[in-house]
Chain A
Amino acid sequence: MFLTISTTGNQERPATDLGFLLHKHPDKAQTFSTSHGTAHVLYPEASVERCTAALLLEVDPVALVRRGKGKGRGGSPDSALAQYVNDRPYAASSLLAVALSTVFKTALQGVCSARPERAAAPLPLRVEVPALPARGGAELVAKLFAPLGWTTVSAQPVPLDEQFPQWGDSRYVQLVLEGELRLADALRQLYVLLPVLDDSKHYWVAPDEVDKLLRAGEGWLAEHPEQKLITSRYLARRWSLTRQAMERLELVRLAEADDLEVEEIDNAVDETTDTDERPVPLAVQRRDAILRALDAAGASRVLDLGCGQGQLVQALLKNVKFTEIVGVDVSMRALTIASRRLKIDRLGERQAERVKLMQGSLTYTDKRLTGYDAAVLSEVVEHLDLPRLPALEYAVFGSARPRTVLVTTPNVEYNVRWESLPAGHVRHGDHRFEWTRAEFRAWAERVAARHGYGVEFVPVGPDDPEVGPPTQMAVFTRTTQDKPGDGRDKQGRRDGRSEQTTPQDEKEAKAA
């Protein structure tokens, strides 16, 4: 991890004053111990005309991981493999920012008793960060630094691997900043913006970080056009990302077993399903349509199959007609978020009795799901590979067999109406398919006929005369007259109920 700060000067204002301002003598190489490694400060050049200070941080990646939790069982089982082979020793991350603030603590505060006038005045500065991880790319780098008074902001992307040009650029840029700034301002900007650009997930930030941000941002952050992004990225890491990482370790391990990144399989929780461009977002229209259909069916005990983060469950809870609401999802993370959203552990006893969240999977039959009035599968079927759809059909229509089943799914014909959606693209990365109206009808009618249901179709959202509505909904109603107790409930049997079985036939009973 490495950065350089240079300035130029003349006899009156020698460049070597940089040494005074940084409180580090240009003719010495100094070494400092920081919390994550060893920082070195040295000057590759130091003349009256030109002086460059270099900060080099040596991080021990093994120690970086080992200082984390997880004893026994071969080191750190709670760490993902990514933490062992990572860019931390090379890229300018929050670790470098921490080192910067430790090593140049006084300079950061703008204090210099030897050259107070130089510390207070802007000087010609050139900052180079050769490997800066920049999520958002060169464009964001420019947006972040340009408003701060730099005349040159250059961010040259670093290619991933010259031997594999098809892989494109890495997330690193070579950053060069030039301009007349007070040194303290420049350092404070770097202190905040390096980690903001890195947006790393691997680093725990202490809880007093808000104060640190306010102090370091004094004088420039409040006016910055990207203030919101800077603040949220800087602070978001603190609670959300580290917590997420803890919550999905089992999935991390399964992803690693398959050489995948965890995001590729832990993508059940995502709000950006629809390309919403309407005043009433489609998600809301969909919920309303579902509530109307449930109402029309007179359902009071309802399953939300694939409940995700619990938005529909929340809407159902508001209506006392729904006496029992069960949210089922296969993603434990979605359920955790749903549980938080619904504040389940703080609900009153009566309210809490109405709602239940549980992990389940629609590719397996599930006895817990039998005997309900209605089941909702809202934007669920398209997340399943087509060959596995029959298993879902049987689990829902053959095994659970609620009186009413609502299925909503995108209408692919409508995609041409989304301006932001490139042609031929599905609306969500995890959609395994999207159906036309005819395809959906054919599927629904086949399923209905096979399992003894009738089916009607309801458009959701504006019904375009040419391409139909954005969302299509099928309302299935059971037609076969199952006997009381649902016919599937073998417990409900009575002894000797028909002429087939008379107690007198009971040979075993005659034991006495």
Chain B
Amino acid sequence: MSTAPRTLPVTDLSLVVLVGATGSGKSTFARRHFKPTEVVSSDFCRGLVADDENDQSASRDAFDVLHYIAGKRLEAGRLTVVDATNVQPESRKQLVQLARKYDVLPIAIVLDLPEEVCAERNAVRPDRAGMPRHVIQRHRRELRRSLRSLEREGFRKVHVLRSVEEVDAAEVVLERRYNDLTHLTGPFDIIGDIHGCRSELETLLGKLGYVDGSHPEGRTAVFVGDLVDRGPDSPGVLRRVMGMVASGDALCVPGNHENKLGRYLKGRNVQHTHGLAETVEQLEKEDDSFKEQVRDFIDGLVSHYVLDGGNLVVCHAGLPEKYHGRTSGRVRSHALYGDTTGETDEFGLPVRYPWAEDYRGRAAVVYGHTPVPNTSWINNTICLDTGAVFGGKMTALRWPERELVDVPAEKVWYEPAKPLTTEAPGGHDGRPLDLADVHGRRVVETRQMGRVAVREENAAAALEVMSRFAVDPRLLTYLPPTMSPTGTSHVEGYLEHPAEAFATYRADGVGRVVCEEKHMGSRAVALVCRDADVARERFGADGPTGVVHTRTGRPFFDDGTTTELILGRLRTAVTEAGLWEELRTDWLLLDAELMPWSLKASGLLRHQYAAVGAAARAVFPGAVAALEGAAARGVDVQGLLATQRERARDAAAFTDAYRRYCWPTEGLEGVRLAPFQLLAVEGRSLAGVPHDEQLAWLDRLVEHDPTALLQTTRRLIVNTGDPESVRAGIDWWLEMTSRGGEGMVVKPVQALVRDGKNRLVQPGIKVRGREYLRIIYGPEYTRPEQLEKLRNRFLGHKRSLALREYALGLEALDRLAEGEPLWRIHEAVFAVLALESEPVDPRL
């Protein structure tokens, strides 16, 4: 007797529960139809907890483990098959609950095989040969009793196989979920709430380029629901949308208003409130077949869609990430109604939980439902309901372009229950940042370097500094990366020398480099806005017109007045230089050095550097005099005397070294700011702009500064392949550092460069002056024996750290430029700070 092949449809994300007596061949069936990792068996779990797969006394613990594993798999969105007898309703109930918890469908596959078959199979298994016959009989009794109630228990599909032949002929076929349209890549035009505004819809479709419901370039419209109610022509809107969906020109998800209309059309008793009355009246003029089509159309709508490879989720009222692509009553409920807190506001409308503030998903969620005066992205979500029916506008989003297109309402079609002044959620009070965005061990995905890891202890230190000392995170859009020094020099008397830097870049395949004078001051990052309104609208910070912060994110000046003074001068220079217009921006982000060093580092200078000099000046005269006295008496101390004299000279040189970077200031009098890179402007990271262009912008800034605040950065272009040019670069450095300069930074002119193996090249290499290095390595580091020891320094970790921080900094700028949510920018900025606390030789 042969049986025709039978297909068993199984949804690709579901919990498949095998049901069958012992010996009915569940494990064999599972092996044949599913991947080994998809199957979780109770026998295996029994073995895990009790070393014996047949130890029934371990069942309770074994099922705990089974449920735990199945839960983890379902949470991660993986098809899971439970291989256990599952003949008792209690055990199945737990599994149905598990499926609901993770919003997947429970599916039952029943192997209802004759007792004889089960007994024979058990007999040939040594571990089960002794199993009493009545166990099989009991299982079969329980199974039989269960068969009719499986659907009632909540299984959404039940497949029963009643013979060995049926089992053998069965074929499991995986089915896509209805909401899974990840294979569709659009491009899409996602259209917000319509509410019967037929005329505005036609205008908007026209503006988007649709001709009679079809786009000549093959774009697909996606409607976020609430097509009907309140407005003048709901049937017209339905006709248009239904036509487009039928012809494949559009997709549509249901809104709560469609849901209610659908129930009305099915004859349910619903209240004709919130604009349903208008629709019912308009539908009266239509024939029954149209109403039937509408009913079927609404009945066929899927509550949300996952599109474009998983990058886009469209639904009516928004959806947290854990519900994306899931199927359950509560997923549908959230998609249609959002998440209400259970409270009502003063207008009697439900208070909605601000789910978007918590949203951290990769997919953009596009939705409607809550009318807002203007749309804005928050945490990669956007609400397109701009209240067309209330006299606002109708809005569409072009995807993947992320362009907004809107048309104004022709009139106020319906009076809103509350004024349309609700704020879009988030953005204010620094609200959306959550500790989970930064705390503990983390990995940040960067465009330029892949995954960059942050260790827990480094994140902990960064959290302390960020929380207690940093400026408002909304204004903290970037932290500068650390920079590696040049490879150690073997030129006599030098620890660092430009020759190594040029050679390194030459080896990396970088021909043209720019040498930039290194200003010895304190690093300062300045965010300059055109005015306070820009700071408020673009960055959400109420009051200041920008920020000036240090390399760990602290405010550079204790008082806001000085900060505003500096920002004001920078703003004047930007305006005079015409950079607002040229760069088409209302704000810009500058990397700079603020001088003198003593302005910010006076504590350090006094307690450490000046102190060392003072101690040296106090001790050497006496020591040298004592040695001279002993020498005069004929004691042999000549060698020691000479050494002490040299050490005294070194200590004096050390004092001279730090003194060059100290001068008194009064207010902004005496303060200098040397900008060396424009990092970002609206919509654009400038980190990849070649340095010669960068310097041209910055020179214009300095030129147009009417005060003496801004200072130019001296520079020289060197061709690393040309010995003459390299020689000139070295001479330039020698000349500058011999006059007390800190040194220079050598950068590839092309800024963002990769080497032959496609690895990031260091964005800059510092070459510090011989005298300056006394501040770092100690007054006597130039003595030959010390220099010899110091040359044994290891740069690998510093170089790697510099590149990781560089990649994170670039990432922060890209995220800022692309208007990504605050938490995404903050994540990268925070990671730079955390990496700064990694252990690395601090002298490098």
A residues adjacent to B (C-beta < 8 A): 1-2, 4, 27-29, 40, 42-46, 52, 54, 56, 58, 60-63, 66, 70, 72-82, 84-87, 89-91, 128, 130-131, 133, 158-161, 163-164, 166-168, 170-172, 174, 249-251, 253-254, 256-261, 264-265, 268, 330-332, 359-368, 383-385, 387-388, 390-391, 393-394, 398, 480-483, 487-488, 490, 493-496, 500-501, 503, 505-512
Contact = CB atoms under 8 A, between A and B. Distances in A.
Given A84-B777, A251-B837, A501 B630 contact: no
Contact of A254 (B11, B789, B837): B837
Contact of A391 (B433, B612, B781, B786): B433
B429 A91 contact: no
B332 to A, nearest CB: 6
Contact of A85 (B353, B473, B637, B775): B775
A509 B618 contact: no
Interface stretch (B363-371, B547-555, B564-572, B746-754): B547-555
Contacts of B780: 61, 89
A56 to B, nearest CB: 6
A75 B794 contact: yes
B87 to A, nearest CB: 21
B363 to A, nearest CB: 18
B624 to A, nearest CB: 10
Contacts of B105: 508-509, 511
B842 A256 contact: yes
Contacts of B795: 74
A361 B465 CA distance: 10
B9 interface: yes
A490 B353 contact: yes
A332 B468 CA distance: 13
Nearest to A61: B778
Interface residues of B, number: 138
Interface of B: 9, 11, 100, 105, 156-158, 175, 177-179, 256, 259, 299-303, 320, 327-330, 332-333, 336-337, 339, 341-343, 353, 355, 429-431, 433-439, 457-458, 460-469, 471-473, 482, 522, 541, 543, 550-552, 554-555, 597, 600-623, 625-630, 633-637, 640, 643-644, 647, 651, 655, 659, 662, 664, 775-781, 786, 789-790, 793-798, 833, 836-844
B100 A495 contact: yes
15 contacts: A27-B633, A29-B636, A42-B637, A44-B626, A61-B780, A75-B794, A87-B612, A130-B623, A253-B842, A364-B433, A394-B430, A394-B431, A501-B329, A507-B300, A509-B328
A54 B623 contact: yes
B429 A390 contact: yes
Contact of A483 (B341, B623, B778): B341
Interface of B, secondary structure class, is helix
B625 to A, nearest CB: 7
Given A75-B794, A507-B299, 9 more contacts: A90-B618, A90-B651, A158-B614, A164-B659, A361-B435, A364-B433, A390-B429, A391-B430, A511-B175
A164 B659 CA distance: 9
Given A387-B472, A495-B329, A512-B156, A253 B615 contact: no
A161 B178 contact: no
Nearest to B260: A500
Contact of A161 (B299, B640, B655, B786): B655
B611 A330 contact: no
B330 A511 contact: no
Given A130-B622, A359-B463, A507 B301 contact: yes
Contacts of A258: 522, 550-552, 554, 600
Contact of A249 (B463, B616, B839): B839
A251 B465 contact: yes
A63 B780 CA distance: 13
Contacts of B601: 259-260
Given A84-B776, A508-B303, A361 B659 contact: no
Given A394-B430, A511-B11, A131 B435 contact: no
B20 to A, nearest CB: 20
A482 B640 contact: no
Contacts of A390: 429-430
Contact of B614 (A54, A172, A509): A172
Contact of A128 (B343, B622, B628, B793): B622
